[in-house]
Amino acid sequence: MSSIARTIAVFCGSRLGNDPIYQNVAEQAGAVLAREGIRLVYGGGANGLMGVVADSVIRAGGEVTGVIPEFLTVREKMHECVSELIVTASMHERKQIMFARAEAFWILPGGFGTFDEMMEILTWRQLERHDKPIILVNTANWGEAVVAMLETAVRQGFASEQARALLQVVPDVETALACSVWQERSAPVPVDTL
């Protein structure tokens, strides 16, 4: 059975970036999630684009689950106003919980942490540990270089065309929403096998 995901994990920067359009897309993402009644699962911080997405969902009356490792609760300023806050022992546990809770993944502008999260969730899908949509919102072509890296890996014979196709690249949040169709499964992959 197919349906629009009811919980979406958003991976994005703990900084704002140097173009206001990045903040705009984060605000739009939060507004769209709240409008559609979709719960946000994200990294739990109050800073940067992560904080912008969470604040936007909260302002619009939506539900937010933040997942943050203990050591980042001060460094990234833990968000105190989310509906649910989960403090984990490690980064890996954080990603496992976000994976387990989400039915789709949106990649918004971000840096090394965002790339790490995207690559891990993409690798898990390539290894058939899940079949949840992974969507890069390529606002102002911010993700052009990372997409080029993936396509270079295909050209060099280190990845298949099929693996590259597991990451959908879209221009905006509304298109990301339309692509967030989840195939409900009776037996999800246990988190501890990832």
CATH number for the domain spanning 59: value is 3.40.50.450
Domain-located, residue 149? no
Residue 92 tokens read as: 């890996």
pLDDT at 187 over 50: no
| More confident: 161 or 80 | 161
Residue 191 lies in a domain: no
pTM score, whole prediction: 0.92
Burial 39-60 (b: 16+ CB within 10 A, else e): bbbbbbbbbbbbbbbbbbbbee
Comparing 193 with 66, the larger pLDDT belongs to: 66
Does residue 157 lie within any of the structural domains? no
- Residue 96's domain comprises 2-140+167-181
pLDDT of 193 > 90? The answer is no
- For residues 73 and 47, the answer to whether their CB atoms sit within 8 Å is no
Q: Which residue has the higher pLDDT, 2 or 140?
A: 140
d(CA 123, CA 159): 11
What's the whole-number average pLDDT of the chain?
Answer: 91
Q: Tell me which DSSP letter residue 101 carries.
A: H
Number of separate domains in the chain: 1
3-class state of residue 181 by DSSP: strand
Q: What six digits make up the tokens of 30?
A: 């939060």
The sign one gets for the Cα dihedral 72, 53, 167, 152 is: negative
Task: Answer yes or no: is pLDDT of 157 > 50.
Answer: yes
CB atoms within 10 A of CB 154: 15
In which element (H, E) is residue 145 found?
helix 144-155
